[in-house]
Chain A
Amino acid sequence: MAEYQGNRDVLALLKEAQEKPGYLAAELLQQIARDCRIPVGHLYGVATFYGFLDTRPVGRNVIRICQSVPCYLKEVDAVAKAIEDELGIKPGEITGDGRFSLHRVNCLGACDHAPAMMVNGRVHVDLTPSSVIDILGEYR
């Protein structure tokens, strides 16, 4: 039986499929489309619409730094720069060893403790340019 068969909700299906490889490669989307008899164009449309779905490779650890106003007012840009300098990558890029990829995202809803970022599923807050370097050390 095909791996993705079954009448499941597309968003949950894609999230689940993305979990292991980290992103939804074209071949993977084609396989899901065949298994579930959903047009691949529809799947691609959904995959490219949502911020938490990726159609391009990401790092083993995905860093999402908030770029909305409350974090901006608490100097999140200095934090982002510290991370960029430490990892040697810009938003949208992956480190050479594949350990991290960096993304700027909109509000994480942690404005009471701005500035904030999310690494994989975990939210880190009250960031400073030095504290983020320690936090990155927790992720292998």
Chain B
Amino acid sequence: MTFAEIRERAVAEWEVMERSGKPRILVGAATCGRSAGALDVLQTINAELAKRNLDATVIQVGCIGLCYIEPIVEIAKPDRPRIFYSGVNADIAVQLIEDYLVNDNPRPDLALGALGEGSLDGVPQLFDLPMLQPQVRVTLRNCGFIDPEDTNHYVVRGGYSGLARALQMTPEQVIEEMKKSGLRGRGGAGFPTGTKWEFCHRAVGTPKYLICNADEGDPGAFMDRSVLEGDPHAVLEGMLIAAYAIGASEGYIYCRAEYPLALERLDIALRQMKELGLLGDNILGSDFSFHIKVKEGAGAFVCGEETALMASIEGKRGMPRPRPPFPAQSGLWGKPTNINNVETLANVSAILERGGDWYAGYGTEKSKGTKTFALAGKVTRTGLIEVPMGIPLRQIIYDIGGGIVGDKAFKAVQTGGPSGGCLATDLLDISVDYESLTAAGSIMGSGGMIVLDEESCVVDVARYFLDFTQKESCGKCVPCRVGTKQMLDILTRITRGQGQPGDMDLLLSLGQTVNQGSLCALGGTAPNPVLTTIRYFRHEYEAHINQKRCPALVCLDLITFYILPDKCQACMICQRSCPVDAIKGGKKLIHVIDQSKCVKCATCYEVCPERFSAIVKVSGETIEVPEEPIPLGAEE
């Protein structure tokens, strides 16, 4: 089939659906939606429609990124804007069918926003909402709006027109278009995509391979999962374009085993592509042939590193090797290979569709285009966003992210996962682009943003990141294998109140050794969380080391719980809740914690009635309390 025929057929099918006058119900059922109960909602909707003998098209879609208010359901009726409802459960789904489908009341009170022509009293435009207004969606252009298991939906929204356009160009022209767009690798390294393609295009050797890196493993990053689940064709079209540009005939998608739904969607999409002639020999009737295989990972973070990834595809331990030779010269099975990340490829298909100049119109001078970010941790609106490069960090955390959970104070944000750095409050106005983040000691990375509030201890968080990289270190380079372990031991010691003078200097010097003495980026960047927390939160390290005090009241060995005798009402609630019988006291006897037994589980602190607030948590100070229970009122 030619592209014109594919498009014609898709548009015709779409118009039949539009003209049928049937309402359309779209349920966000990616992994995040499903975990919020989307499949129950879907089942309820189908059962209710059957029961009432109503005719409607029900479609499972991906995630629009508002993971914190899922499940999200969209209802589209003829001559009405599409209406999005959030936090839908089975009961609300039944109500919506009754009220909107049967009685034509769109229930503005339940609606989140409207999209498309027309407006509805009391319902804001979806993209005027504070969390969506600053967003520009390129990678996520279709996520949550199309059926990821139906190629037609993708084609109707412009899909595969980028490929069709690329096939009319020479590979060199395609590379030129990528250079014009300014797109840089979205997996973390930020290397210009067009230049990378050019290296592989010019390399001598056949066959050439194209690999899509879908081994997303950074804690706090889930954009690749969402794109593969919500719009797999955007990535696959990007692969075809990349393969055409570099002259590859074979491709692999290396996807982590932790993403079963993404793997399933990829299989379906690949099957459909073959049926339509979008994959295999002579794609769209051209001379270009390309085949794709899916390789499932097996739980090793380091396989996201390109040379380790290739070793894993070759059936070996996933250990990085020195570069050069770069994959463009000698990659998979020793052949020229180009590796791009999921998000990069999803951008590629959009760029070829709309042009490099269009893409370069977004972002800053050196960081063009848009970037997705995954918001996690203590931020109110966890989820996936996409913004133009150069947006202030504050706008991401506050306007889009809604600030900190429970209106607590912002403390820091870790960008770039375990390879990145921890940025403090005074950097909130930093511009989010490759250069500014690097200057601040962090990195863009794959786009995870883990938000910390005043109750998070940065030393403990740094220890957690080190624990991650230490466990995931493949062990090949001694500075990484031994250095991360030593750094972890020192951090553990500090959080346990056994820090020694000189520990910070030792961490800094070890960090430098690990950074310089490791082959790959895992080791090269592993010290970053420690180095940046020392840079921006030196006083917290000093408090832990010199005063044996944890300012955030997190590190268990450094905190103590006390029952204030003047506030305790001898109600015995804490005494009964204590799992280790560490609380002495009784009826009309104020309670006392036996510090030698206390395991600092904070149960007493949580159960003490708020009107008494008799239990306090302190660090680095001693509060004078009786050693044994005394009669209530005796302390006055």
CB-CB under 8 A from B31, the residues of chain A are 110, 123
Contacts A53-B298, A109-B256 given: A70-B318 contact, CB under 8 Å?
no
Contacts known (A10-B316, A69-B219); A111 close to B448, Cβ less than 8 A: yes
Q: Is the CB of B296 within 8 A of A109?
A: no
List, in ascending order, chain B residues with CB within 8 A of A10's CB. Answer: 315-316
Q: Is B259 an interface residue (CB 8 A)?
A: yes
Residues from chain A with Cβ under 8 Å of B452 in the complex:
73
From B222, B317, B450, contact of A69 by CB (8 A): B450
A110 & B298 in contact (Cβ 8 Å cutoff): no
What count of chain B residues pass the 8 Å CB interface test? 54
A50, A52, A53, A107: which has the most chain B beta carbons within 10 Å?
A107
The distance in angstroms between the C-alpha atoms of A108 and B216, with both chains bound, is 9
Residue ID in chain B nearest A18 by CB atoms: B298
Q: Is A45 an interface residue, CB under 8 A from the partner? A: yes
User: Bound state CA distance, A49 and B471, in angstroms?
Assistant: 11
What is the CB-to-nearest-CB distance from B9 to chain A, in angstroms, rounded to a whole number? 35
A50 touches B217 (CB 8 A): no
| Contact flag A112-B382 (CB < 8 Å), given A11-B298, A68-B219 | yes
A82 to chain B, nearest CB (A): 12
Q: Does A119 contact B (CB under 8 A)?
A: no
Tell which of A67, A70, A108, A118 touches B376, judged by Cβ atoms closer than 8 Å: A70
Stretch at the interface among B148-156, B461-469, B586-594: B461-469
Inter-chain CA distance A114–B220, complex, in Å, is 10
Instruction: Please state if B222 and A111 are interface contacts (CB–CB under 8 Å).
Output: yes
**B318-A124 in contact (CB<8A):** no
Chain A residues with CB under 8 Å of B472's CB are 106
B257 to A, closest residue via Cβ: A52
The answer to whether B221 has its CB under 8 Å from any CB of chain A is: yes
Q: Mark B356-397, 1 if CB is under 8 A from A, else 0.
A: 000000000000000000111110001110000000000000
Give the complex CA separation of A50 and B299 in angstroms: 6
Flag whether A125 is at the interface (Cβ < 8 A). Answer: yes
**What is the bound-complex CA distance between A45 and B472, given in angstroms?**
16
Quote the shortest CB–CB distance from B454 to chain A (angstroms): 13
- Picked from B68, B259, B296, B316, the residue with its CB within 8 Å of the CB of A46 is B316
Alpha-carbon distance between A49 and B220 when the two chains are bound, in angstroms: 23
Check if A50 sits within 8 Å of B464, measured CB to CB.
no
A132 / chain B contacts, CB cutoff of 8 Å: none
Q: Whole-angstrom distance between the alpha carbons of A112 and B296 in the complex?
A: 23
Given contacts A68-B219, A113-B36, contact A46 B315 (CB under 8 A): yes
Given contact pairs A10-B315, A52-B257, A69-B461, A106 touches B298 in the complex (Cβ within 8 A):
no
Q: How far is the CB of B96 from chain A (nearest CB, A)?
A: 23
Q: Are A49 and B317 in contact (CB under 8 A)?
A: yes
Cα-based distance from A123 to B317 in the complex (angstroms): 26
In the complex the two chains form, is B298's CB within 8 Å of A51's CB?
yes
Interchain CA distance A70-B382 in the complex, whole Å: 11
- B531 in the interface, Cβ–Cβ < 8 Å? no
Known interface pairs A108-B258, A123-B258; A70-B35 also in contact (CB < 8 Å)? no
Answer whether residue B137 sits at the interface, using C-beta atoms and an 8 A cutoff.
Answer: no
Q: Which 7 A-B pairs have the closest CB atoms?
A: A51-B299, A10-B315, A68-B219, A50-B298, A112-B67, A52-B299, A111-B376
Contacts A46-B316, A107-B220, A109-B222 supplied; 10 other A-B pairs, CB < 8 Å: A12-B296, A15-B298, A52-B257, A68-B464, A72-B464, A105-B299, A106-B471, A107-B217, A111-B448, A114-B376
